[in-house]
Each structure stands twice: as structure tokens, then as C-alpha cells.
Amino acid sequence: MENIDWKNLGFGYIKTPKRYVSNYKDGSWDTGCLTEDGTVALCESAGVLQYAQTIFEGLKAYRTVDGRLVTFRPDLNAARMVESARRLVMPPFPEQQFVDAILQTVRANADYVPPYGTGASFYLRPFMFGTDAVLGVAPATEFQFRVFGTPAGPYFRGGAKPISIRVTDYDRAAPHGTGHIKAGLNYAMSLYAIEEAHKLGFTENLYLDSATRTYVEETGGANFIFITKDGKLVTPKSDTILPSVCRRSLMHVAAYILGMEVEERHITLDEVRDMAECGLCGTAAVLSPVGRIHDHGKDILLPSGMEKMGPVCQELYDTLTGIQYGRIEGPEGWIREVEL
């Protein structure tokens, strides 16, 4: 096991020994292999460099209470990456090979998967980009798929402390655009808004739907869930947000394990004033409580406050992380064990 201060890890890149690489050329992906080389050398006119033809995924591996190494629903990331690839005219990476690449990367870096009980986990970043030269606007014809992993702590500093976010006037996704896929370009165009939010003292941006500026969409890197005063989980329905694996999992946990009512529907910003709890969910964010939403000079203060997560979010969090860390048996197929 590496000598790392696991309990104080933030969310940043730490180079680990091995990563997985596969190349696409002449119409097919090669079998792929592990390499120690963490650098990528590219043609100056590569599709990724000129026209941002790149997509990515994010998922985690965990060391369980009984010492196993597991990943959480990697098949859903594999399937979502196929959707992202189609939308950016890239060759889909075979789903079985994707899951295999994940398992190989975790196994090869097992010493970097944080010990159980530290609150940290091993964040995996699969990504794919156009490698051959383009000059006119056109898709590349050669691509590289890679997966690296890095030990990671909480995405939002402070971990389970509620955060303050603001409603932004910038948009992250247009109707019929790319908001529903995990394209690098969606994040590039959010950088200005996130820098501005940070300068003003907010941790994240709440994006409204860009067509009507009425409905809550998501933040730059996580979906929303809300808990109503009568204990329902409600979450935005939209074609322009990323279909979060974490959110789909929390909806299942809420409905089938905790016996809650769950609704996926349009949620107006006005309605948020009446919610009991608000959380941001995603692989990196896990379930991070929101205490305050700033909207153009006015504050929406969630009754759960700024000190700790609300009780329903806490129950959802405990159940989901209980499944991920092997304390609770999850639904069939959610946990993929890494054979050592």
C-alpha cells in the first residue's frame, strides 16, 4: 500500500503506475494494453486539439469493508460513452472491452486504491479523443481510448458540509445540443462561469434550462435531487442534462430500498423555495448537500441548514455508500469485483 495521507486527499490528479490504452485505426479498435506512459504525443492538427473531439467518463473503485476491490456499475458508464461517441461522430468503444479496461486499470494500481474507512476512493477517468490531422471541420478517422485512475477524496472541499451555489445567467447546454453527453466541450464552456462563481464565494453554478430559464437543470458537474417537505425525492427531468449513474442509483435506492416516493419531472426554480433538502449527486460529488441557493440578490435557504446534511439525504448517502463499500448488499449487478 502506498504511503499517502488518504484521509486528507482532495480531488486532484496523482499519477499512478499504469493506465490502459487502445487505438482505433482502419475501422477497428486494437486489443488494448496497460502502459506506464502517462503522456500523449499528438499531431499538432489532431481533431481533439483543433475541434475538441473528445469525450470522457468518470467512475470509482472502492476497497470494501471485507478487503475486496470493487467498481460500481461500470456497464452504465460503458453504455453512456457509446452515446457520447455517437453524438461526436467517434467510433463507439466496445462495452465489454470498456469494463475490462476498468478492471485491468484498478488491478494494476491496487496499491493506490485507498484503504477502507478513509473516506477516499479510486477515481477512474476513461476518455477518448481524435488523434489524426483535420483542418476543415470534420471528424477524425483515428482515435485513442485511455483509462487512468487516481486516488481521490471529496470533490467539494469540506466533504459533507452543505455548500452555497448560485443561479447563473450562463448556459451549459442548448436544446438539441450536447448537454446529455459527456463531451469535454461542455466543461470547457463552463470554466468561465465556475471561475466567476468561485470569485463571488459560491461553490457551483445552478444552470436553468436555456430555452425558458424557468426549470432547474443541473450544476457543472452533478445532477440535482430535492426532498420535498412530505419526504418525496424529486429530480429534474430534462433532455439536456447528463443522465447521472449516481442519480439513477439514488432513485432506485429511494424507491426500492427506502420505500420513498420518487418523481422525475420538470422542477421550476420557484418550487425550490418549498423544498426541505437539496443535494448534488454524481460520481465525484457522491451526494453533497446544498444549504443555500443564491438567485440574483435573493437567497433560497434550505431548511436543512448550513451545518450538516439533511436527514433524508443522509439516509440516501449512507445506503448508497454502504453498497459501494460492501456494508450493504446492493441490487444484482451493481458491484463488479476486481479479481486480484
Which residues between 205 and 264 bind ligand PLP (CB under 6 A)? 218, 221-223, 242, 244-247
How many Å apart are CA 87 and CA 79, to the nearest integer?
13
Provide CB contacts within 8 A for 306, sequence distance 6+: 161, 162, 164, 291, 292
120: left (phi over 0), alpha (psi -120 to 50) or beta: beta
Which alpha helices (DSSP H) does the chain contain, by range?
47-51, 74-87, 95-108, 184-188, 191-199, 245-252, 269-272, 311-324
Determine which one of 7, 60, 182, 232 is catalytic.
182
Q: Which residue, among 10, 29, 8, 9, has the nearest Cα to 20 in the 3D structure? A: 29
Of 83 and 142, the one with the shorter C-beta distance to ligand COI is 83
Compute how many other C-beta atoms are within 10 angstroms of the C-beta atom of residue 313: 27
Q: Return d(Cα 183, Cα 59) in angstroms, integer.
A: 15
Given the complex with ligand PLP, which of 18 and 126 has the nearer CB atom? 126
* Phi/psi of residue 164, nearest 5 degrees: -105, 135
Nearer to ligand COI, 155 or 325 (CB): 155
From ligand COI, ligand PLP, none, interface partner of 294 (C-beta below 5 to 8 A by class): none
The residue number with the shortest CB distance to ligand COI is: 58
Rounded to the nearest whole angstrom, what is the least distance from the CB of residue 280 to ligand PLP in the complex? Answer: 8
CB of 284 to ligand COI, least distance (A): 3
Residues found near ligand COI in the complex (CB under 6 A): 58, 221, 282-284
Q: How far is the CB of 330 from ligand PLP (least distance, A)?
A: 15
Choose between 276 and 334: whose C-beta lies nearer to ligand COI. 334
* Among the listed residues 47, 282, 291, 330, the single contact to ligand PLP using CB under 6 A: 282
- State yes or no: is 182 an active-site residue: yes
Binding residues for ligand PLP (CB under 6 A)? 58, 218, 221-223, 242, 244-247, 282-283
Residues designated catalytic: 182
